[in-house]
Amino acid sequence: MADLPLRPARQDLSTKGKRLVALTAALDEAAALWRPRPFVADPPWLEAHPEVAAWCESLAIVDVIAIERAEVLPPDAPTLLHAWQARLAELTTLTVSTGPRASTIERRVPERKLAQIDAFIAALDQGPGACAVLDWCGGKGHLGRTLGSHLNAPVTVLERNASLADDAMELARAADVALNFVCADALAAPADLFGPDVLAVGLHACGELGTRMLEHAVRDGVHTVALSPCCLHKVRGLREQGYLPLSAIGRAHDPQLDHESLRLATADEVVARASLQAGRRRENAWRLGFDLLARRAGRASYTPLGTITEELTRSDFASFAKALAERYAIALPTIWDPVEAEAAGWQRADRARAIGLVRGLFKRAIEVWCALDRAAFLEEHGLDTTIICFAPRAITPRNLIIVGRRPRRP
């Protein structure tokens, strides 16, 4: 890998396909920086770029968190990192919504959710022709109900959680919106929900659920489809086969994304509660403290522990370690000091997070690549597409909308 990223003097990013190709080239070139997970083991680039390693390890954890939140490197960051940040910024800059925010007033919608809905609608030029709204994986139908009110159109909410139906219907009646609640899994949704007069919307549809909506839009027809993807890693079979691009151009220029790559793309704590952030820090420190104990007892490498319930992190580190050792039949040292082991875990977790700043530079690039792949898929099937950044990160870090429209007939 070159010391500094190669940056063509004149990159043609005039089409989504050209931007996707350029992003693939950048991700391939920098694979040694973003593929290794510092949480699991020291990445090889530490030796290749000692100045970057030294800078990361010099940072206090409060500085690391501040850089993560700002998504801007401080002036004293190594030249290599500034060069990559500049190149990636060029490749990932997209259209930003400038539409006026809607003035929805809903007492029963959480404030931040309401801000997301207003921003989504403001960015979405509904245009003429759509006569019905489909709210995909819509929960209580907040987005669909609001759009239905704006368009004076009937709404269908697809949601697999039947317990939300009563609230969805009550809220729709209060808003004077005709609403049909369809209780079904989006992965087995009926095709008759779509059609040439339907505006299909999905706000933060997770992984495969959002992809399925786009597939329906292509196969079953739709007036407009608008998807804001979330949790890109929630796809069946992803760990075994990696990400399978939807578009032909994505398959031809595939950066070989895997489960951990897609988890990286949507890892963000900017809107997480302080208590949740603190709990994640403690869990990560305890995981790595346990890992050190397991290695002292003879394990050769990091042991994935899967999902850890909140109950396990409510007590103390000693109880946590003993419970995991029993659950996974992992030997611990005969004699060990819980205070010392926990402190070592915290130190290791903070160091891994600091080194992870380098990997974090590529989060948005992976997310935008996936959005471009989805948009290209729609274009390859005859839809006109745009990708819009519809809200600032403070409202939601998952702030991209992929919009596909059937071309108007003369």
The per-residue pLDDT for 10 is 59
| Residue whose C-alpha is closest to residue 76's, from 352, 267, 357 | 357
Phi, psi of 267 (to 5 degrees): -85, 115
- What is the Cα–Cα distance from 133 to 143, expressed in whole angstroms? 10
The per-residue pLDDT for 362 is 98
**Average pLDDT of the chain, as a whole number:** 91
Categorize the per-residue pLDDT at 8 as very low, low, confident or very high, splitting at 50, 70 and 90: low
Per-residue pLDDT at 242 exceeds 50 = yes
Per-residue pLDDT at 2 exceeds 50 = no
Categorize the per-residue pLDDT at 58 as very low, low, confident or very high, splitting at 50, 70 and 90: very high
Per-residue pLDDT at 311 exceeds 50 = yes
The per-residue pLDDT for 184 is 94
The per-residue pLDDT for 409 is 64
| Residue whose C-alpha is closest to residue 361's, from 6, 3, 27, 104 | 27
Report DSSP state, residue 224.
Answer: E
Residue-wise pLDDT tens digits, 334-344: 999 999 999 99
CA 10 to chain centre: 30
- What is the Cα–Cα distance from 170 to 282, expressed in whole angstroms? 41
| Fold of the domain built from segment(s) 95-262+362-405 | Rossmann fold (3.40.50)
Residue ranges covered by each domain of the chain: 95-262+362-405, 274-357
